[in-house]
């Protein structure tokens, strides 16, 4: 098992898999990221992040029914695992916690 450290892109993809439940597959995730985060990714990049997350045990996958739009091919639908959900929560929590520790002063920008 690779280290449980979650990269920025990984976190992004993981979040979107959660958002798209139960229809998260390669192209859908790519589109959603573009729409929500305004980041244009190549499908292969999304793909490799998805498989990496699956290897880390944060996602699981199953094959969907064949669809006409893909020439009768099936999609690989990704789902969050319990570990995936937990790691999202942890990341979120950590971020909030850290954010809350920033002194108020530091956040006040002066324009002068």
Partner 1 sequence: MINEKPPKWADKFLQWYCRPELLEEIQGDTHELFYRKAKESKSKAALLFIWNVLRFFRWKNIKRTKNKYESNTSTSMLQNFFKTAFRNIIKNKAYSFINYIGLTCGLTLALLILAYVRNEMSYDQFHEKANRLYRFGYTVSNGMKIASTPPPIAPALKSYYPEVEEVARVYPRNVSINIPGTSTTFEETNVLFADSAITNMFTFQFLKGNSKRALHDKFTVLLTEKTATKYFGDKNPIGESLVFSGRQSFKVIGVVKDFPENSHLRFTMLVPYDDMFDLEDEKTEQVLRANLAMNFLISHSFTYVLLKEGSTPTHINNTMNEFLKKNANPNLLVGQIFSLMPLTDLHLKSDYEGEPSTTNSMSNIYIFIGVGILTLLIAAINYVNLSTAQSFTRIKEIGLRKILGSAKSQLIVQFLAESFTFCVAAFVASYLLFYLALPKLNVLTGKELVFSEVIDFNLLALSIGIVMALTLLAGGYPAYFVTRFESVSALKGGEQKGGRKQLLRKALVVFQLAIACMLFSGSILIVKQLNFLETRPLGFQKEHIINIPLQSQNINGYFQQGDSTFQTRLQSFRDLIARQTGVNQSTLSSGSPGGGVVFRGTIPEGFTQEDNIFAANLAADYNFLETFDIKVVAGRSFSKEYGTDAKEAFIINETAVKEYKWETPEKALGKEINREGKKGKVVGVIQDFNFLSLTTSISPLLLSIDQNQFNTLSIRFDNENVDATIETMEAHWNKIFPEKAFEFSFLDEQLNQQYANYKSFGLIIQTFAGIAILIACLGVYGLVLFTVQRKVKEIGIRKVMGATVPEILKLVYQDFVLLIVLGFVLAVPVSYYFISQWLENFVYRTSIDVMTYAISLISIVVIVSLTISYQSIRAALANPVKSLRVE
C-beta of residue 56 within 8 angstroms of C-beta of residue 4: yes
Residue from 63, 1, 57, 58 nearest 26 by CA: 63
Using rule CB under 8 A, residue 26 touches partner 1: yes
Determine which residue in the list 19, 37, 45, 82 makes contact with partner 1, applying CB under 8 A: 45
Distances (CA, A) of 77 to 70, 74, 109: 14, 9, 45
Which of 4, 23, 44, 92 is close enough to bind partner 1 by CB under 8 A? 44
Binding of residue 51 to partner 1 (CB under 8 A): yes
Q: How distant is the alpha carbon of residue 10 from its chain centre? A: 5
Position 95 contacts partner 1 (CB under 8 A):
no
Residues that bind partner 1 (CB under 8 A): 25-27, 42-45, 47-48, 51, 63, 67, 69-71, 73-76
């Amino acid at each position: 098992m690779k280290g449980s450290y979650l990269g920025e892109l990984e976190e992004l993809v993981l979040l979107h898999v959660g958002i798209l439940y139960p229809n998260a597959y390669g192209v859908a995730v790519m589109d959603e990221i573009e729409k929500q985060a305004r980041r244009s990714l190549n499908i292969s990049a999304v793909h490799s992040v998805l498989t990496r997350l699956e290897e880390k045990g944060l996602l699981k996958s199953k094959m969907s029914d064949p669809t006409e739009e893909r020439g009768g091919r099936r999609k690989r639908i990704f789902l969050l695992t319990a570990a995936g959900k937990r790691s999202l929560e942890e990341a979120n929590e950590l971020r909030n916690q850290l954010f809350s520790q920033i002194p108020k002063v530091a956040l006040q920008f002066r324009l002068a």
